[in-house]
Amino acid sequence: MTIFSTDHKVIGKQYIGLSLFAVLIGMALSLVMRYHLVHPDAKVRLFQMLWPDGAPGGQMTPELYLSLMTMHGTIMVFFVLTTAPQSGFGNYFLPLQIGAHDMAFPVLNMLSFWTTALSFLVLMAAFVVEGGAPLSGWTAYPPLSALGKIAGPGQGLGQDLWVLSIALFCVASLMAAINFIATIIELRAPGVGYFDMPLTAWAWFVTALISLFAFAVLLAGGILLLLDRVAGTSFFIPGGLVVSDQIQARSGGSPILFQHLFWFFGHPEVYIAILPGMGVISTVLSVFSGKKVFGYRAMAYALLAIGGLGFLVWGHHMFISGMSPYSSVAFSVLTLAIGVPSAIKTFNWIATLWGGRIRFTAAMLYALGFVSLFITGGVTGLVLGQPGLDLYFHDTYFVVAHFHLIMGVAAIFAIFAALHYWFPLLYGRFLNETLGKIHFYGTFIGVYAVFVPLHFAGIAGNPRRYPDFKEYEFLKSLMPLHVGVTHAAYSLAAIQLLFFFNYFWSQRKGKLADKNPWGAATREWTHD
């Protein structure tokens, strides 16, 4: 059976396919959310058909909004940003780039993919079970996530499925990480030293190392959370909780403990999402500038530094959790320190362009877009990294804008760049360049139109995860801004149809590519 293939190329494409499917669902959910934010009282037949309990008479309940938000975040972070750049492209191209015949453990590789697919199915099942999908966001903070049905629709079976899905995802990611690292350590062809590997391979390597350390910790947190839910333990549930007018029997647990476990994984996770993109972008910028990557070794060391430092900064997500101010300062200094290797990368990208013969192909445009987004999103990180400022900005749309630009959209731009660049190897044809360029400009303008205004909403104090702004006097004046953002989001989504058309059409009808059409120097193009 070829669907249970152990061939790294097939598995790579399977991961990419899973991500493309997931991103469609994630995007549809975001549109429904943006619609609801500007029409909170609308009665929509479609909502009623899809979610009879969540939208009685077509009127969306606050709980349904929160469940869509949870599923959007979970799908995008895990099944798109963690899946395509690392497992998708990495599986396909890593062995080719280092001269290996396949990954080190092909059967394990197949199992990783199918465990990921199973994890996705389990998550989707949360939509259809009684109570629907959970409400507690992609971060699943207890006590909300730990209490069960009493905490709201979706907090019963839906949240159980969520935790189970994430636990499966952790296991799959650990298996994949072991495979990637072992492949790089053991299967490099003779003559390929660590510093002969392209930066893409370095990025996959460092990402796999981060995954190995981070996902084990999330798995631990997930197991403890599941036990709080089903076995009557009290790891995270504090005493004296009154929920839906009922005193909760459990006591002694610490919700903050979960936050530590989650963010010890969660911050490294944001690098899991972005580092593979950095690798792709380094390559694309160099190929289409006709120059070698500027400061190759510094780039590799910067990846390692970001990966290492990334484990020391998780507290910046918890500045307002009541931590000691001394800890805040330490986390803040370490957080700002990550700016250094990040800046090294950015300056080296610019230096790579400097004096080059630049070819503005679609892939190149996406790569340039990535650099732009990485800078705009990174600058707000430096703002949030200061406890005094974060006190105000925490849990506002400022944070939403920050992480969408730098993590969400930048990583997606890297995926677009990678698809345009490697399409000839994946399918023997080119993606259509003209469509690609139109799609790039539309998307580039679109993402800024959506996310720049959200910074201002955050500055105005607009909290995130609120389903209905008009309930609050101080948010009423922001409605025009939100209307604008929602319209920008519609246009942005419409433009994506162009990409999907291009992607499927070009597989069959695209211009045929000959060997190494971009004039690249890495092995995946030059070897047979």
Partner 1 sequence: MTNVARTGQTLLIVASSMLFAAFTSAMVVRRATGTDWIAPSVPVWLWAAALLALSASWLVMRGLYRPAALCGFLLVASQIAYAASLRMGDVAQSFAAVLVTAHAAHALFGACALWWKGERASLFWHFAGALWLYVLWLIGVWA
Using CB under 5 A, list all residues that contact Cu ion: 267
Residue nearest to Cu ion (CB): 267
Classify 461 in phi/psi space as left (phi over 0), alpha (psi -120 to 50) or beta. left
223 contact, one of partner 1, Cu ion, ligand HEM, none, CB 5-8 Å limit per kind: partner 1
> 459-474 in b/e burial notation, b at 16+ Cβ within 10 A?
eeebebebbebeeeee
- Point out which residues bind partner 1 (CB under 8 A): 104-105, 174, 177-179, 181-182, 185-187, 212-213, 215-217, 219-221, 223-224, 227, 231-235, 251-254, 256-257, 260-261, 264
CA distance 346 to 318: 28
Q: Reduced to 3 states, what is the DSSP secondary structure of residue 247? A: strand
Stretch that binds ligand HEM, among 46-54, 294-302, 350-358, 390-398 (CB under 6 A): 390-398
Alpha-carbon torsion, ordered 104, 110, 112, 114, to 10 deg: 180
In the bound state with partner 1, the residue whose beta carbon lies nearer, of 214 and 338, is 214
Q: Which residue has the tokens 């990611």?
A: 173
- For 435, phi and psi rounded to 5 degrees? -60, -40
For residues 393 and 381, the answer to whether their CB atoms sit within 8 Å is: no
Stretch that binds ligand HEM, among 13-21, 222-230, 382-390, 497-505 (CB under 6 A): 382-390
Residue 482 binding ligand HEM, by CB under 6 A: no
By C-alpha distance, which of 302, 257, 277, 119 is closest to 200?
Answer: 277
Residue 399 binding ligand HEM, by CB under 6 A: yes
DSSP 8-state secondary structure symbol assigned to residue 498:
H
335 contact, one of Cu ion, ligand HEM, partner 1, none, CB 5-8 Å limit per kind: ligand HEM
433 contact, one of ligand HEM, partner 1, Cu ion, none, CB 5-8 Å limit per kind: none
382 contact, one of ligand HEM, Cu ion, partner 1, none, CB 5-8 Å limit per kind: ligand HEM
In the bound state with Cu ion, the residue whose beta carbon lies nearer, of 36 and 267, is 267
Stretch that binds ligand HEM, among 62-70, 270-278, 418-426, 516-524 (CB under 6 A): 270-278
For residues 87 and 176, the answer to whether their CB atoms sit within 8 Å is: yes
Burial class (CB in 10 A: 0-12, 13-18, 19+), 211: buried
Residue 384 binding ligand HEM, by CB under 6 A: yes
State the minimum distance, in angstroms, from the CB of residue 270 to ligand HEM. Answer: 3
Residue 75 binding ligand HEM, by CB under 6 A: no
Q: CA 240, 221, 273 angle in degrees (round to 5)? A: 130
State the minimum distance, in angstroms, from the CB of residue 399 to ligand HEM. Answer: 4
State the minimum distance, in angstroms, from the CB of residue 518 to ligand HEM. Answer: 27
In the bound state with partner 1, the residue whose beta carbon lies nearer, of 70 and 82, is 82
Residues 6 or more apart whose Cβ sits within 8 Å of residue 8: 91, 92, 94, 95, 102, 103, 106, 109
Classify 58 in phi/psi space as left (phi over 0), alpha (psi -120 to 50) or beta. left
252 contact, one of Cu ion, ligand HEM, partner 1, none, CB 5-8 Å limit per kind: partner 1
In the bound state with ligand HEM, the residue whose beta carbon lies nearer, of 50 and 333, is 333
In the bound state with partner 1, the residue whose beta carbon lies nearer, of 215 and 370, is 215
In the bound state with ligand HEM, the residue whose beta carbon lies nearer, of 402 and 439, is 402
Please pick, from the candidates 403, 416, 423, 503, the single residue that binds ligand HEM as defined by CB under 6 A: 403
In the bound state with ligand HEM, the residue whose beta carbon lies nearer, of 151 and 270, is 270
The helix (H) or strand (E) run that includes residue 242 is strand 242-243
The count of other CB atoms within 10 Å of the CB of residue 497 is: 10
Alpha-carbon torsion, ordered 124, 125, 131, 136, to 10 deg: -40
Please pick, from the candidates 12, 85, 378, 424, the single residue that binds ligand HEM as defined by CB under 6 A: 378
- For 43, phi and psi rounded to 5 degrees? -105, 115
CA distance 26 to 17: 14
State the minimum distance, in angstroms, from the CB of residue 81 to partner 1. Answer: 21
State the minimum distance, in angstroms, from the CB of residue 97 to partner 1. Answer: 18
Within positions 308 to 327, which residues make up the interface with ligand HEM, using CB under 6 A?
Answer: 316-317
Q: Using CB under 6 A as the criterion, what x/- string covers residues 102-141 for binding ligand HEM?
A: -------------------------------------x--
Q: Which two tokens stand for residue 335?
A: 């957080």
Q: Reduced to 3 states, what is the DSSP secondary structure of residue 243? A: strand
CA distance 161 to 158: 5
Compute and round to an integer the Cα radius of gyration of the chain. 23
In the bound state with ligand HEM, the residue whose beta carbon lies nearer, of 257 and 382, is 382
In the bound state with partner 1, the residue whose beta carbon lies nearer, of 266 and 377, is 266
Partners of 59 in beta bridges: 43
Partners of 429 in beta bridges: 512
Residues binding ligand HEM (CB under 6 A): 139, 270, 273-274, 316-317, 335, 338-339, 342, 378, 381-382, 384-385, 390, 393-394, 399, 402-403, 406-407
